[in-house]
A = this chain, B = another copy of it.
Amino acid sequence: MAQVLSGGLRRVIGDGEGVPDGRVDGLDDADLLDLYRSLVLLRTYDERSVVYHRQGRIGTYAIFWNHEAMQVGSAHALADEDWIFPSYRESAIGLLRGIPASTLLSWWRGHPAGWWNPADYNVASICVPIATHVPHAAGLAWGKRLRGESAVAITYFGDGATSEGAFHEGANFAAVMRAPLILFCNNNGWAISTPLAAQTRAETLADKAVGYGMPGVRVDGGDVLAVFEATREAVERARAGEGPTFVEAVSYRAAPHATADDPRAYIDLARVEEEKRRECVGRYEGYLRRLGLLSDEEREEIRSGAAALMREGIARAEAEPAPDPSILFEHALASPPPSFAQDLAELRRILGRTEAGGAASPRPSGPEGAGPEGSV
């Protein structure tokens, strides 16, 4: 069971010194190792992606370093039938549901091979505009309930997202419809350069739950076990028909907002260094080691497995042929108008006369590129 820290923050993992480790009921040793595998997978994905970006192999990329515990802990609390609604910050969470790394890397390469059908994995498309997916998740959860199905949904968003009207309307719909939804707030303290104090005067973001008549809980976002446990309780409530829960996972953004961002102008660098020292994967590694559950060999095996998966993923993504211009028109509408075929024919005629295909350079700034090309 989690301890509740000051500020109502739940925590399970100790510090190896004064603060003792806890245990989470129902998680056996294999489960604990599974969590570790997922953490390493996401960490590896993230670190490799930053390198791929520097190498010009993917475009602007939203770094989620030190957010892995929030994503892994919560996603592991779900059943396969449950739906995930990620923001750009959880772009790789689909890895935990079997979406190939190449698909996600293709998405960051601006390539249609980055598409997937949400129904194949119960993972919605990555949402770029802030908070607009919160009502989607509320609608899915409500819709499942209306059908008498037992699936629940989780939606991820940041501290900044709580300022948007879309968050508010989605949360309120979920509460009113008793939708089985977990509103998972990744409170990393920053919305790009805007600190939490410029975002809200609420004492905690979990306080927002009161206004929707739903429970709000706070958890240490660097503690994968505390996140797991808090989310599991929210999932149980949801599945029991008791409606949505707001989970505030408190963390700190120890990396730039995205590859295009330089946080040195605004961030507290000492705090970042401190956070880097207590980053979430290392914390969990220490926990497993104290329990004697992780050997150096296992650790290496897991890491190299993840690295291999990434190598294969980027190779596949890079092997994708340049998309054909027909892709512009092909999926916009299920029943397209005749003008689409005419437009495509004309485009093909013109492209045929000039150069083949419309493949763009993978470098985010083309010859006329604007530089910081995506706040995401």
Contacts and interface: CB of A to CB of B under 8 A. Distances in A.
Interface of A: 163-169, 172, 175-176, 178, 198-203, 207-214, 243
Nearest to A203: B213
A175 B208 CA distance: 13
A164 B169 contact: yes
7 contacts: A175-B200, A175-B202, A176-B198, A176-B201, A200-B213, A202-B213, A210-B210
Contacts of A243: 201
A37 to B, nearest CB: 37
Contacts of A207: 210-211, 213
A166 B176 CA distance: 18
Contacts of A199: 176
Nearest to A172: B163
Interface of A is mostly: helix
A202 B211 contact: yes
A112 to B, nearest CB: 32
Contacts of A214: 201
Given A207-B210, A207-B213, A211-B208, A176 B200 contact: yes
A165 B176 contact: no
Contacts of A166: 165
A313 to B, nearest CB: 38
A99 to B, nearest CB: 31
A146 to B, nearest CB: 16
B198 A202 contact: no
Q: Nearest 9 pairs between A and B by C-beta?
A: A165-B165, A201-B213, A168-B168, A208-B211, A211-B211, A175-B201, A202-B213, A210-B210, A207-B210
Nearest to A244: B201
Interface centre among A176, A198, A199, A211 (most CB of B within 10 A): A211
Given A167-B168, A210-B210, 4 more contacts: A165-B165, A165-B166, A178-B201, A207-B210
Contacts of A165: 164-166, 168-169
Contacts of A175: 200-202
Contact of A212 (B172, B202, B212): B202
A168 to B, nearest CB: 4
A200 B174 CA distance: 10
A312 B152 CA distance: 62
A117 to B, nearest CB: 30
A237 to B, nearest CB: 13
Contacts of A176: 198-201
Contacts of A211: 202, 207-211
Nearest to A198: B176
A166 B165 CA distance: 6
A168 B165 CA distance: 6
Nearest to A201: B213
A175 B203 CA distance: 12
A208 B212 CA distance: 7
Contacts of A210: 202, 207-208, 210-211
Nearest to A163: B172
A22 to B, nearest CB: 30
